[in-house]
Amino acid sequence: MTQTANDAETDSGAEPEVLLDVRGLKVHFPIKSGIIFGRVTGYVYAVDGIDLKIRRGETYGLVGESGCGKSTFGRAVLQLEEPTAGEVHFAGKDLASMKGEELRKQRQHMQMVFQDPLGSLDPRQTVEQLLLEGMRAHGLTKNRDSRQRLIDLLEAVGLPRNALSKYPHEFSGGQRQRIGIARALAVDPELIVADEPVSALDVSVQAQVVNLMQDLQKEFGLTYLVIAHDLAVVRHMSDRIGVMYLGALVEESDADDLYGHPLHPYTRALMSAVPVPDPLVEDTREQILLQGDLPSPANPPTGCRFHTRCPWAQATLCDTERPELRELETVETSKGHRVACHYAEQILSGEIQRRT
């Protein structure tokens, strides 16, 4: 059974290999005026300069509000959206520089599980056809028993073998998501980008799919990038977590460290919104209510993009200079905890008081 990234690091004393290395990734969508020959009048800054690394065998959770650019980032990593700038290195190879057949061959090693399990499956194809399509595209049906491979895949995701002859509409939402996971596994990938993999499912089914993905990770040695807005799901699945706000990464840390000691004001606001099943703790813990709406990604604020809603914002710096994502090690936090905030230390020590 394959070890997780954290287990391997503990046993060997060295950090696992970096499988995915993203540097300065940007995705800007042009805004055009006119229907036919419209000129570009601006851009939607969906992803605007993200640096992160995902180690082999770990689960990296990416969280944030709807519209912050999480899904666009995931698609850009797989080159389903063409990046405006930046580099995406997968197993040491720069995907952003690849085109055509070279990129197509790399797609075998990177797969995606989509948010809508019904919309991502062709309703005219049987499960067998859905699973074989990717295998044929990458020449994986040669010199192997394809049908036995499909039966093994269905067994791995908890579906009976008679599912092969059925169509997507004949399954429940949770079963369709299992089919989507099996389709991703069919080509023996190393990295799976899961875009809101359980948000479209009933609460009773979500835990089953989450547990399934964790079991498959151990069995097949998978690396996950899990994109979600549900903080409970992300905490349960992830080794490390990154928090996105308006196209940028504002905090990154180990899961336990992030939930126990959030440093960025936005992360602290997110955590304060998660209910605690203890009335005494719930009544006494810090509550942070953000003012205003999420700014438009077509016209982001200058300086720190969170300063328009931040209860600790200072006019001297926050509204003029964009903070860098820097490592901040405190007595409470662990090594590798990164935060993009000018005044994280002063907020943590209480030197800067929160506005009410």
For residues 276 and 221, state if they share a domain. no
Q: Say yes or no: 254 and 186 in one domain.
A: no
- Among 24, 22, 58, 26, residue whose Cα is nearest residue 225: 58
- The answer to whether position 187 is within a domain reads yes
Query: How many angstroms separate the CA atoms of 313 and 303, rounded?
Result: 11
* Mean pLDDT score across all residues of the chain: 88
Q: Is residue 354 part of a domain?
A: no
Determine the residue type at 233: V
Q: Which of 245, 273, 304 is the last residue of a domain?
A: 245
Looking at the fold, whether 239 and 311 belong to one and the same domain comes out as no
**pLDDT, tens digit, 9 for 90 and up, residues 74-127:** 999 999 999 999 999 999 999 988 888 899 999 999 999 998 888 889 999 999
Whether residue 223 is contained in a domain is answered as yes
Q: Are residues 239 and 169 in the same domain?
A: yes
Residue pair 155/107 in contact by the 8 Å Cβ criterion:
no
More confident residue, 256 or 9: 256
CA separation, residue 11 to residues 37, 215, 272, 322 (Å):
60, 21, 35, 39
- 252 and 344 fall within a common domain: yes
Within 8 A by CB and 6+ apart from 98, the residues are 79, 106
Domain that holds residue 11: 5-245
Whole-number pLDDT of residue 10: 47
Q: What is the mean pLDDT of residues 47-75?
A: 94
Question: Are residues 292 and 209 both part of a single domain?
Answer: no
With respect to residue 355, please indicate whether it lies within any of the assigned structural domains.
Answer: no
CA distance linking residue 78 with residue 75, whole number of Å? 5
CATH number at residue 174: 3.40.50.300
Residues 86, 186 share a domain:
yes
Least confident of 40-44, 145-149, 151-155: 145-149
Residue 170 belongs to a domain: yes
Residue with tokens 């336990």: 256
Residues 168 and 129 in one domain: yes
122-149 pLDDT, tens per residue? 999 999 999 999 998 888 887 667 888 8
Domain boundary among 245, 274, 293: 245
Q: Is residue 19 part of a domain?
A: yes
In this predicted structure, the answer to whether residue 166 has a pLDDT above a threshold of 50 is: yes
356 located within any domain: no
> What is the Cα–Cα distance from 138 to 149, expressed in whole angstroms?
15
- Both 232 and 277 in one domain: the answer is no
263 and 252 part of one domain: yes
Average pLDDT over residues 4-21: 66
* pLDDT exceeds 90 at position 340: yes
Q: Of 191, 223, 245, which closes a domain?
A: 245
* Alpha-carbon gap, residue 11 to 5, rounded angstroms: 10
Q: Looking at the structure, do residues 218 and 303 belong to the same domain, yes or no? A: no
Compute the average pLDDT of residues 322-342: 87
Give domain status of residue 142, yes or no.
yes
Give pTM, 2 decimals. 0.90
pLDDT tens for each residue of 189-237: 999 999 999 887 888 888 899 999 999 999 999 999 999 988 888 988 9
Domain total of the chain: 2
Residues 62 and 142 reside in one and the same domain:
yes
Residue 11: count of CB within 10 angstroms of its CB: 9
